[in-house]
Amino acid sequence: MHPIHDQTLSSSQVIALTKAMLSVAAIDGMHPAEAALIGQFYESSRSADMPGTTALLASPETSVFDAAELAGGSDEFADTAVLMCLMTAYADGNLSNTERTLVQSIATALKMDASRFDYLLAQVRDELVGALAHLPDAESVAVVVKELAAGD
């Protein structure tokens, strides 16, 4: 699952998506893994005319996010926005109820139906389980799978 590799994002889309990811991470306290994911996304997606990562993250405007900033894009961009927000939420190992509610509200603002949201949520979970599948301790992987499913 690489939602941004097959599309070109405009500067405004990259900034709006970064702000959305930051809002998800901040809802229950920014975890270092969330900050790393957001920084990596922004740095790899930004163009030379955009502010640097440190400057963007320090900007007071970055802490104010309105889902309408993401509206008006393609269905593919909506998928990318929701996937990246879900990945941000899971970066600390847990999708909290408040994170899920926020990402669902972003999906709703992007006119995404509930079944599509559920599909993308399952896709992120599958990716996380796949990343763990190579571990030799199958019992620990099973525990993680149960915890991921418990978020429903």
Q: Distances from the Cα of 106 to the Cαs of 3, 21, 118, in angstroms?
A: 17, 11, 13
CA-to-CA distance for 116 and 49, rounded, in angstroms? 34
Classify residue 109: in a domain, yes or no.
yes
Structural domain tally of the chain? 1
Long-range contacts of 125-134 (CB under 8 A, 24+ apart): 125/149, 127/1, 128/90
76-133 pLDDT, tens digit per residue, is 999 999 999 999 998 888 889 999 999 999 999 999 999 999 999 999 987 875 555 5
Classify residue 151: in a domain, yes or no.
no
Q: How many CA atoms lie within 13 A of 124 on its CB side?
A: 27
Residue whose C-alpha is closest to residue 37's, from 49, 24, 27: 24
Structure-token pair, residue 119 = 């599909």
The answer to whether the predicted template modeling score (pTM) of the entire model surpasses 0.75 is yes
Classify residue 68: in a domain, yes or no.
yes
CA-to-CA distance for 118 and 107, rounded, in angstroms? 10
CA-to-CA distance for 120 and 118, rounded, in angstroms? 5
Classify residue 126: in a domain, yes or no.
no
32-76 pLDDT, tens digit per residue, is 999 899 999 999 998 888 988 888 877 777 778 888 889 888 999
Classify residue 143: in a domain, yes or no.
no
Residue whose C-alpha is closest to residue 108's, from 76, 88, 81: 81
Classify residue 139: in a domain, yes or no.
no
- Which residues form the domain of 47? 11-117
